Structure 1
Amino acid sequence: MDNANWQVLLLMAVFSGLVLWKIASAKRGQGLYIRPIPGLNAIEEAVGRSAELGGPLLFHGGVADFTNVQTLAAVGILEHICKTAAKYGNRILVTTAMPVMVPIWEDVIKASFAAAGRPELASQSEVRFISPAGDLTALGTTQVLVDEKVSSCFLFGAYDYTSLLYSEGGQIAGCMQIAGTSDYYQIPFFVASCDYVVMVEELFACSAYLTREPTMLGSVVGQDYGKLFLLLLILTGVICATVFGPSNPLNLYEGILRF
């Protein structure tokens, strides 16, 4: 309980206040800015490319189950991809190594196509459980990419050492690929083999960025303001410690740096 002190309480109050302030601002219709994320902007381009070439889309939601926050982010992205695909008449293939995720992906596809007014596309789409082994699922996904003549491939979620196997499969099939993960040690492999990569915290801002839903949008912007506040606090502490040193009678820098 060493961290349960008044400084932490104050910091939590500031962060919570900033988030609630920005949520309220978004609900009032105030425009909140999130910088452009090229990988998300390219989703419609990838879906349109697939429609032109006549092939399906392939989506892989990572190697983790629904308890992983990256998988939750991937669900929101798949929903957006389905709604975009509904405009072009694309069908979607989803591959997974986790049986528990099969009904979840199926429900997302059905609900998204129905919301877009194209429920018939859900019956043409398919969720394929390949194998509980990550290596075999990656190889099986490559086979699906080649056999189904997939034109665009989306890789979003948590990834392990198999990340390069998935993305290289897309390269073999000649797909346009968009990937996203917060597993920073896998990002170099995606950068080397994909057209666009959504990196680290960008993945968690995807739903807010794509839907512009006020609560999610305000939360993202409010957290950014909180990070800015924390950065200013640290800089102030460093300046106080450098300029005044231990001879400062008020010891301002000590209180600031304790955060």
Structure 2
Amino acid sequence: MFFITLVLIINGINLRTFDTPNDDGSSITLRWNFDGEYKAFEIYRSEGNGNNFEKLGEVEGTDSIFRDSNLNPNTPYFYKIAGKTDSIIVFSNISGPVKPVVQYFNLYRLPMGICIIILFFSVLFYINMAKRGEKLSIRKIPALNAIEEAIGRATEMGKPVLYVPGIMDIDDPQTIASMSILSRVAEKTAEYGIPLYVPTSRSMAMTMAQQVVKESATRVGRPDWYNPDNIRYITDDQFAYVSAVDGIMVRERPATNLYLGTFYAESLILAETGHSTGAVQIAGTAMPDQLPFFVAACDYTLLGEELYAASAYLSQEPVQLGSLKGQDLGKLIFITVVIIGVLSQLFNWQFFINLFNTIE
């Protein structure tokens, strides 16, 4: 009877330990096979010599893997586990020594790295195409086509155009994209000879807007049209700025209002005031919480990343066009990977699943 029990102790649980792949050298992975049923497994570890085991913790009786973390790299460790039933405790073999080793490359992230490299080179490829003068097709956005029509309407009515570049400074990507659009708007208003008002809530944004408008007027041969007083710094305070812009709308009665940039709670206040004056309104922002207000109160709205696409569409600048096309290709790749991933799970295509599997 003693011999049979000894065989169970030796062969009941087979423990295997190894350095966790693709980690920072701070963990060891334990795997074990077992016969029979256990209520729980106790994990024991010994550092250095294989003696004086200490209990690390306990896992469910259905588990067969455990990761021991926060270890010292290149230090030998020994492990054993004990399976607990109602009446007996069955110990595994002692596994070790095993050392955690630093891995400088995480191969499980290789597929994502390949996708990033493809995206990077696709952006460079399209930028070079644009610089060579090759035409890059970009989907037409109705709001962009409406900008020139709205400026033409203001010209026919003899009224100014109001351009609001958001409430953030020039370090904000949306403000930068807005300045690119402002350049195109300034060219058209200077060409048609109608006033352009650009109230800003940041002093640096005012300086940048003045330079952009001045260069645009010079580019179309109308440097005398430029009036720096029409491009004003109001205040950094959010609602004081909105009150001042609403006052411009009510006093000057612009025929066209353009809200392009970063907006927060002031979006609906601006759009409702502009709507009450009867102006054609075109808005654009990448702030998801504010898009419903612009959609409801404006005639046209640039949704999310269309704001960034607009600057490339209007400026036709090679770097922006190439970046836009490259990012579109990257999105297509990621969407394709997601679709194939869903199909792989449905039809159990293990090869593709294993490419993105991060569990050893």
TM-score by length of 1: 0.91
CA distance in 2, matches of 1:253, 1:36: 37
What residue in structure 2 maps to residue 104 of structure 1? 208
Counterpart of 1:110, as a letter, is K
Residue 233 of structure 1: which of 331, 334, 337 is its match? 337
Q: What 5-or-longer segments of structure 1 have no aligned partner? A: none
Aligned to 1:254: 354
Query: Separation in 2 of the partners of 1:17 and 1:117?
Result: 39
| Counterpart among 222, 227, 240 of residue 118 in structure 1 | 222
The Cα offsets for residues 85-132 of structure 1, whole Å up to 9 and x where unpaired, read as: 122111111112222322111111111111111111112761122232
Of 310, 317, 325, which residue of structure 2 is paired with 1:213?
317
1:188 match: 292
Counterpart in 2 of 1:80? 184
Q: Where in structure 2 are the equivalents of 1:1-259 lying within 5 Å?
A: 5-123=109-227, 126-244=230-348, 248=350, 251-256=351-356
**What SS does the corresponding residue of 1:65 show, helix, strand or coil?**
coil
> Identity of aligned pairs, percent?
35
Distance in structure 1 (CA, Å) of the matches to 2:228 and 2:170: 24
Conserved in 1, the CA contact under 8 Å of 2:161 and 2:196?
yes
CA distance in 2, matches of 1:190, 1:57: 18
CA separation of 1:208 and 1:219: change in aligned 2, threshold 3 A: same
SS, match of residue 290 in structure 2? helix
Aligned length: 254
- The answer to which structure has the higher helix fraction is 1
Give the structure with the higher percent strand.
Answer: 2
Measure how far apart 1:149 and its partner are: 2.3
Q: Is residue 179–residue 190 contact of structure 1 (8 Å, CA) maintained in 2?
A: yes
Residues 20 and 85 of structure 1: CA distance in aligned 2, closer, same or farther (over 3 Å): same
Question: How far apart in 2 are the matches of 1:16 and 1:257?
Answer: 24
Q: CA deviation at 1:257?
A: 5.8
Is the CA contact 1:97–1:137 (under 8 Å) kept in the aligned structure 2?
A: yes
Distance in structure 1 (CA, Å) of the matches to 2:235 and 2:315: 33
Kept in 2, the 8 Å contact 1:237–1:257? The answer is no
What secondary structure, in the 3-state scheme, does the structure 2 residue paired with 1:155 have? strand
Higher CA-based Rg: 2
Per-residue deviation, 1:183: 0.3
Maintained 8 Å contact 1:86/1:118: yes
CA root-mean-square deviation:
2.0
Is the 8 Å Cα contact of residues 91 and 125 (structure 1) preserved in structure 2?
Answer: no
CA contact (8 A) 2:180 2:315 kept: no
One-letter amino acid of the structure 2 residue matched with residue 86 of structure 1: A
- SS state at 1:184 partner: coil
Partner SS, residue 226 of structure 2: helix
Q: Which runs of 5+ in 2 are unaligned?
A: 1-21, 24-104
Q: Is the 8 A contact 1:57 1:90 kept in 2?
A: yes
1:198-235 Cα distance to aligned partner (Å, 9 max, x none) = 11010011121112223321221111111111111122
Matched residue type, 1:118 = R
Name the structure, 1 or 2, with higher relative contact order (CA <8 Å, separation 6+): 1
C-alpha spacing 1:237/1:256, structure 2 compared with 1 (3 Å) = farther
Q: CA deviation at 1:29?
A: 3.7
Q: Under a length normalisation based on structure 2, what TM-score does the superposition of the two structures give?
A: 0.67
SS in 2 for 1:205: helix
How many angstroms apart in 2 are the aligned matches of 1:168 and 1:153? 11
Q: Which whole-Å CA distance do the structure 2 matches of 1:124 and 1:72 have between them?
A: 20
Deviations 1:3-53 (A, max 9, x none): 964233212211112222222333344332211111111111111111111
Q: Distance in 2 between matches of 1:257 and 1:161?
A: 42
**Aligned amino acid, residue 342 of structure 2:** V
Structure 2 distance, partners of 1:206, 1:257, is: 38
| Structure 1 SS opposite 2:167 | coil
Greater shift after overlay, 214-223 or 18-27?
18-27
